[in-house]
Amino acid sequence: MKQRLTGLVRRCVDDYHMISPGDKIAVGVSGGKDSLVLLSLMAALREYHPASFSLEAVTVDMGLGGMDFTPVQEFCESLQIPYYCKKTEIGPIIFEHRKEKNPCSMCAKMRRGALNEVLLERGLNKVALGHHYDDAVETFLMSLIFEGRLSCFQPVTYLDRTGITQIRPMLYIGEKTVENFAKRENLPIVHNTCTADKHTKRQEIKELVYSLSATYPELKSRVFGAMQRLPLPEWGIEGAERRPLPEQED
């Protein structure tokens, strides 16, 4: 299974030209299943990809309490990947001081800022994020339904203010596949103690997609294929109309 998923990561990396020789790549590791699976697959890809690159793992600790990242550090050591955990007060600032009613947007912005700061300090030029196939479909539908526009994050995003490039190598892997791999490999998942977890607009869309997929099984693949063909130029790849998408586990 690991070899197959690493192959899907390589296909995504190569389709969108995510990695160049000499890249110093950080994997943003929250402790959740997505980021830990990405870390494992990037470590495997590092062993044979023709573009030689280095890896580090970076965690932004939001200061929420109850989250022990020691197992994550030990996992990184087993992969021979340097690990850095940045302590912050993002959680208390958002929930205790500002008392944000809709905290997710501000939290994401502050976490990105903290992560980019670490990357610049450590001389890393790229950051790999754990967004997968389902995340892309859900983000596209969130923009369409809640904002009335065709939009999604990009496979590759250059941040001109910092000179850092964001890459998303797991876009060809579905969430259920990620979850099954994490269980099979017994990855050291850290429970998210954020009170807003599972109570977001994204969760609403996730449940909507799940419901609609029971009636329209090809819903996700059609949305993803449409993103690669027309609405979003940053998603286009040569031959997207002819290339079958990877099978996604139910």
Which of the residue ranges 94-103, 181-190, 237-246 has the most confident prediction, judged by mean pLDDT? 181-190
pLDDT at residue number 96: 66
pTM for this model (two decimals): 0.89
pLDDT in tens, 9-53: 999 999 999 999 999 999 999 999 999 999 999 999 999 999 999
**Three-state DSSP class for 101?**
coil
Which tokens in the block code for residue 140?
Answer: 């596209």
Question: Residue 78 burial by CB count (10 A; 0-12/13-18/19+): exposed, middle or buried?
Answer: exposed
Q: Which residues contact 141 (CB under 8 A, 6 or more apart)?
A: 205, 208, 209, 223
pLDDT at residue number 199: 61
The residue type at 202: R
A 10 A CB-CB count for 27 gives 26
